[in-house]
Structure 1
Amino acid sequence: MSAGDTDAPEARADSEPGTDGRSGGSGGGGGRPQPDRPGGQDRGPRQDDGPAAPGGPPEDELFGDSETDPSAKEGRAAAGGAAARIARESRAFFLRDSSTYVGGTIGAVNFRFGDTARASLLAGPLPEDELRRLRRRFTRPPDYEDFKRQLRDDRLLVLCGQPGSGRTYTALSLLDDLTRGKVSRLDPGSDLAGLDSDDEGGRIAEGHGYTLEPADGRLPGELHLDRLCRLLADRGAYAVLLSVPAAGVPGAPQARYRRAHTPAAEDAVLDGHLTAELDSAPAEAREAARLLARRDTVRAALGLEALLPAEAARLAGLVARQVTGELTEEELLTACRGFAAEQVREWFAGGTAAETLPALRDAAYRIALAVFGNSSFNVAAEAAELLTWELAVTADPERVPGRPLLGDGLETRLTSARATTRISLQPVVAGEDIPVRTVRFLGPALAPALLAHLWEHHHNMRGPVLRWLDSLCGDPREDVWTRAAVAAGELCRLDCAHTLGELLIPMAESDQARRGLFVATALQDVLDDPAVGEALRSLVKNWGARGDGNLRWTAAAVLSRGTATRTMGEALGRLGRIGTWEDGRLRSVAAQSVAHLAGSASGREPLARIRAWLGDSRRQHQNLGLVSTLFLAETLVENVWNPAAELAGHGKWPLALAICATRPDQASEVAGLLWTALNTSRSYRAALDAVATWLRTCPGKPWEAAVLGFLPLLVLTDDDRQRMLSLIGKLSQDPDDPLAQEYAHRLLQTVRTGRTR
């Protein structure tokens, strides 16, 4: 029977790896250079003076050819130490419940204007019922009195703020205060340069107030605004122009008239609208509405940390309808889930202006935030520029887009994307936490809503976004490719066939290890999706059983996440077949996946399977068991993709020691596996090197006591004791980094007596 036919182990004694009886020879000393570590470093040359079994493979062959490109799919999975943690944090960004709202429209409070034919002056008076509504519901923003004073003195005010921030209501209220109700809205296409024409339609009415938001968002230059001021003064009139702040430094042409609009406080707007909505209801109903609007379930359904005034007014209307019986609570929550989707719909509303380079840069920045939320601001900003280039050349292939240097301000960019920054600890330097300025949306619902909107409503965005994600996979930083992979998984959930065909399957077929890890990270959660998970499991099964080396490697990486099969036994069986395929060509990645599964499962099954491989008469299965054992000893808990709950707080521990500490009933099994590796010639030096690493690094660490308690489990014979004593002696006499004398004495006592003291 060939190794590729089945993984069913035969529990037979073998003279080379130690059997369950732990009989076997011991080899000479010597240290083994660490195999190629995640991040792409090659192993150094070997000086293998230890014994090797006759006809057996040299120790290097357990891990793969040392001359192989470390980025290729031959050795272990080349993920850095921070990749697992970053993947978990990024994946939490897209957690959703089954009722997540991904589309639809809810009416807004702000007045919105469509494109119309241009006219010199086309004004429509504000109806009386809207004036009454304005006076009853309007909540003044913080600078309202300053706005009024400037408008009274200059006759002209430019209010600069984001849509939905209450700019329009503020403008109308200011004009109502100064003109006693003579308020008109100008058509968005009005030509302000023609206001002094002699025809009747171009004249400013005496004592009137006008508000305008230009259709193209562009305001007249300073000379035209000065001229408009004079015309307004001549007629005793007022005007408030509305604009959206540009990404860069505020422009000079409107600086003289421009004022930044700060939204009114959310609670004040919400309570004011609730009072107006329920003015004829009993006081108990108004109080119930206020409490309902702040209930945790409602806030969770909104998925926004702070509501804009328009959103607060919309929520007040919904809550009032629920309190009066027009809506059920579930209907209220469903409507609340649509708030984030509505915001995204406004961001990507389309039109000719949306194809300009500044608009594409805004879109790219928001998409980058959806992918790189809680990541470094600089990483997100650079990724946004790369996506801007993809979008721009897709929209206009003949144009080479550039980057703004001084015209891209941070604060305005954050405000337009409803984002914020803060200082957080991130594992971005050698896997260690350092302070980093991170960026995120102000609300967990925005990222999934944004990706869903793009994939469902803007087909032509798919190509450049997938090319962008593919390019991010080429970045060696875990903070970049891991988050891109998690986002790719979210897109796969939204349209499985398209994302697989255009991105993930070509990556799985690639000969680059990081691309295989990208696929595994992307598919991890999608494999549990009730709609497409079963089909994806079949796909991964086919990769592992009938694919070429690249697809089998990717299948092994996917299996390490624990979601590609329904049972642990099935996953281990597939890894056994992959790890013994073609004389163990993919042994390292299969063994590493087994170690990940041992860290993610609380049961004994992974350890028992490793023991069965060690007891198998087939050499490739023995080798797979040995390498799996070595990975148990070398892997840190923080590098396990999905560590079991009991391993929490043991991130820096070696996985083997953490299993012994948190699952004491499995300690003897773990020790037996490592004992076997120490007593097998072809894995002896690697296993001894792993123990030496524990002894060097554990002083002062939380797992120092675990090492002292574990060493006696490795000593069953005098040869075992002599091996450990020799190792401790060599480490104590290291001229560069000797063990502390007191610590070395404790180790020696532990090995000699079999006790920690």
Structure 2
Amino acid sequence: MSEQPAEEKADQHLDETAPGSEESEQPEEENDRPQDPWAARRELHRHAPTAIGGSLVGGAQTGVSGGSVTGDVVLGTKIEHHYRFGAATHTSGSIPDSELRDLRQVFAGYEELVHPLVDRLRDERVLVLSGAPFSGRRSAALMLLHALDAVPVRALDPKTRPTALNEQVTGDTRGYLVLDLVTGHDAPLRDIDLWSVRDELKQNNAYLVITVDLFAVLHGVDAVEWQPPSPESVVRSHLHHLVDDPPRERELLGLPPAREFLGRTDHQLREAAEFAKALSDHAEGGRSLDQLAAFGRSMIQEQVREWFGGDEASLRDKAFLISLAAFDEAAYALTAEVSDDLYAQFQGTEDANRRARVGVFGTSITKRLRLARATAYWQEEHTEWGPVTQRMARFQEGRVAAEVLREVWTGHPSARPGLIRWLQRLANDGRPLVRTRAAVAAAVLAQADLPSAMALLIEGWAKSKRYRDCLVAANALATAHAVGAPNVPAILRTWCDGDPAEPRLRWTAIRGYALVGAMMPREALAALADAARTGEDEQEARHIAESAALLLTDESPAVREQVLRDMAELLGDAPSVRRLALHAFVLACTHTDDLLILRWYATAGERGGPEDARQLAHLWRTVLNDMRYTSEALKALGDWVREADQDPEAERHLAVLLPALAVTGDDRKRIGHLLATLRDRRGDAPLPVAARLSAAL
């Protein structure tokens, strides 16, 4: 499911304590060491969601912003919800004839979707339509009843017990509708209930359509699974009704926002109907093109508010939505596992004296994902045990994940205690993916409300006595900066220059600069140089050098070039800063599996970038002549030569580099001795490539 070192048990996330809190303060363990920084960076990039992972490289930023939706929200071919505060909601009564007339004018997909069901309803008198929320089931039910001239239509109370349905269809009305009948394990809808109501309907020459959601409890009922019309057909139908000018309609549908909207097939029908209204408003000059382009963001915000602002979704469903937001594009089993833990945390918030209860079975993957407007797919995941094929889950619209986290954090403060406990437990998990997702979630919360996220989560991790917790804080800050959270550079600078009594805050900032540096390379290297000037600890000096080396091996060539230029200038700085530059360069050469620095030197010359090649060669000669780093530098060169024994391209690159390093007689002797004494990795035999490279000198 995810990477999990053998010494770190996966069930560590059950630990109740929070890093950084007084009750969780633990003595520093003797074996508590920072994770290798290159491995930590790979984990962050690998385990972050796609949208955010890309933003951590080279400084691209992502985020969701947008307007809001006001007024009625149209669902499919009718108005389902009216956001008018104080208005009464009547769940029983006759449906106005005007609504049926409007529906006939805009309904899409009658011939292929509704008409085939007419004969069945005529024969059976009662039909059950099952489907996802906002898929146009009510509209389809009304069209079915209208096709049989079963009007007027009387809407029955959805809380009517299934055993009492036959008592509700005894009047003179010919058409009846129950919208989203409420069922449960103590009140399922059974086939016997339908037989009973069918007898009553036959006596009165009437018809009944019942719609149920995906979680309805049905016993022996042959429900019709409703397949809605395509969002595009709904847009076209509504737009034609509103504009009634085919050339103008085609022009509107050709606008970039319309092409983008119609390019997706996962829109709810209410969104399609509302988008048609937005296009009509634009045609009449009431909505600008920019406002039209912001429509999708507004719908996302409205959907998320609906999930968490109403009672349609259960508490367990809401916990799953939040978990999916944090673990978007991760394995479904992992998402479900941690969502049940969050569900237990929320139960504790609702009633601290009640023991949390989480049902072991009874959840449906299909229904859960439909509710969340998510999709499942199979994908190969790389683990320390090799590639494993997993069933993954993600929101159909990538921007939903961040919006869910922001809405819960800022719009529902009562959820914060449970959410905080949950994230702290995730950060304490033995699986790197889980810890990374805790950091990413905290970053999104920081973008929405920086002071609270810092005080309640990130700062506690940063002050922890465990390096692993500090790394979660560094990952959170780097990701927060990538998604647009304010003041992250100032926070890092304050911690880096801060009180020596807070060494873990300082370490968090030093590692944070390595991760956020791609977005601010000059500022990051300058801050690390200042830390080197004021630091006195050798271990910290190595951590600073590792962060600088990470900047020098960034994936972005522009970032590397900037860091190289600034690092070369540090050679003339104070001794501690000079040592930082040399140590970082040696580490960069040693820790790159793909010979990045060697390839950089060779291609810099080929591209006509002699300045990069000159500075790289200068740094190489400097480290080879500095007694502190000569041994490490020769080891790095030796590893490159061993790689070249199996890689002709690497051999060609070394044939270009080595002469540039052998400027003086001492240089030639040093490199010549290395090549003459170098053995293969088993230490048995000399390397043929070494002899060929000696000739190149």
| Common topology (TM > 0.5) | yes
Residue 66 (structure 2) pairs with residue 100 (structure 1): yes
- For 1:308, the aligned partner's letter is Q
Residue matched to 1:313:
273
Contact 2:69 2:299 in 1 (8 A): no
Residue matched to 1:157:
127
Residue 109 (structure 2) pairs with residue 140 (structure 1): yes
Q: What pairs with 1:240-639 in structure 2 (closer than 5 Å)?
A: 240-246=209-215, 251-253=217-219, 255-279=220-244, 282-292=245-255, 295=256, 297-298=257-258, 306-351=266-311, 359-401=314-356, 403-424=358-379, 426-429=381-384, 436-524=390-478, 526-527=480-481, 533-534=486-487, 536-547=488-499, 548-562=502-516, 568=522, 571-578=525-532, 581-600=535-554, 601-602=558-559, 606-607=563-564, 610-611=567-568, 618=575, 620-621=576-577, 623-636=579-592
Residue matched to 1:31:
none
- For 2:300, the aligned partner's letter is A
Q: CA RMSD in A?
A: 3.8
How much does 1:543 deviate?
0.9
CA shift digits 1:426-473 (9 cap, x unpaired): 54447x876554322111232232223222321112222232222222
Residue matched to 1:693:
639
Cα distance in structure 2, aligned partners of 1:607 and 1:633: 13
**Among residues 634, 637, 658, which one is paired with 2:600 in the alignment?**
658
Q: Check 1:302–1:285 CA distance in 2 against 1; reply closer, same or farther (3 A cut).
A: closer
Q: What pairs with 1:214-229 in structure 2 (closer than 5 Å)?
A: 214=180, 216=182, 218=184, 220-222=188-190, 223-229=192-198
CA shift digits 1:728-747 (9 cap, x unpaired): 566545547868xxxx3233
Contact 1:305 1:442 in 2 (8 A): no
Contact 1:87 1:521 in 2 (8 A): no
Q: Check 1:697–1:41 CA distance in 2 against 1; reply closer, same or farther (3 A cut).
A: farther
Cα distance in structure 1, aligned partners of 2:469 and 2:121: 59
Stretch deviating more after TM superposition (578-587 or 95-104):
95-104
CA shift digits 1:115-141 (9 cap, x unpaired): xxxxxx984222211111122222237
Query: Which runs of 5 or more structure 2 residues have no equivalent in the other structure?
Result: 9-27, 56-60, 83-89
Residue matched to 1:752:
695
SS state at 2:209 partner:
strand
Stretch deviating more after TM superposition (298-307 or 442-451):
298-307
Cα distance in structure 2, aligned partners of 1:257 and 1:485: 46
Cα distance in structure 2, aligned partners of 1:630 and 1:596: 11
Contact 2:330 2:392 in 1 (8 A): yes
Contact 2:377 2:392 in 1 (8 A): yes
Contact 1:77 1:589 in 2 (8 A): no
Contact 1:615 1:622 in 2 (8 A): yes
For these two proteins, the number of residue pairs brought into alignment is 647
How much does 1:272 deviate?
1.5
Q: Check 1:729–1:384 CA distance in 2 against 1; reply closer, same or farther (3 A cut).
A: farther
Residue matched to 2:179:
213
Q: Check 1:369–1:734 CA distance in 2 against 1; reply closer, same or farther (3 A cut).
A: closer
SS state at 1:245 partner:
coil
SS state at 2:538 partner:
coil
Stretch deviating more after TM superposition (699-708 or 584-593):
699-708
Contact 2:69 2:302 in 1 (8 A): yes
Contact 1:73 1:511 in 2 (8 A): no
Residue 90 (structure 2) pairs with residue 130 (structure 1): no
SS state at 1:348 partner:
helix
Residue 656 (structure 2) pairs with residue 709 (structure 1): yes
Q: Check 1:474–1:203 CA distance in 2 against 1; reply closer, same or farther (3 A cut).
A: closer
Q: What pairs with 1:717-736 in structure 2 (closer than 5 Å)?
A: 717=664, 720-721=667-668, 723-724=670-671, 727-728=674-675, 732-735=679-682
Cα distance in structure 2, aligned partners of 1:88 and 1:728: 45
- For 1:284, the aligned partner's letter is P
Query: Which runs of 5 or more structure 1 residues have no equivalent in the other structure?
Result: 1-37, 43-66, 115-120, 638-651
TM-score, normalised by the number of residues in structure 1: 0.75
CA shift digits 1:613-663 (9 cap, x unpaired): 666674x445433421222113338xxxxxxxxxxxxxx443464365345
Cα distance in structure 1, aligned partners of 2:107 and 2:611: 67
CA shift digits 1:40-78 (9 cap, x unpaired): 999xxxxxxxxxxxxxxxxxxxxxxxx985644598586
Stretch deviating more after TM superposition (416-425 or 559-568):
559-568
CA shift digits 1:144-189 (9 cap, x unpaired): 3453333223222221111111111111111111234332211333
Q: Check 1:712–1:81 CA distance in 2 against 1; reply closer, same or farther (3 A cut).
A: farther
SS state at 2:254 partner:
helix
Residue matched to 1:27:
none
Residue matched to 2:25:
none
Cα distance in structure 1, aligned partners of 2:424 and 2:667: 51
How much does 1:488 deviate?
1.6
Contact 1:72 1:513 in 2 (8 A): yes
- Percent identical pairs in the alignment equals 26
Structure number with the bigger relative contact order (C-alpha 8 A, sep ≥ 6) is 1
TM-score, normalised by the number of residues in structure 2: 0.81
- For 1:184, the aligned partner's letter is R
How much does 1:245 deviate?
1.0
Cα distance in structure 1, aligned partners of 2:118 and 2:369: 28
Residue matched to 2:40:
79
Select the structure that is richer in helix.
2
- For 1:150, the aligned partner's letter is R
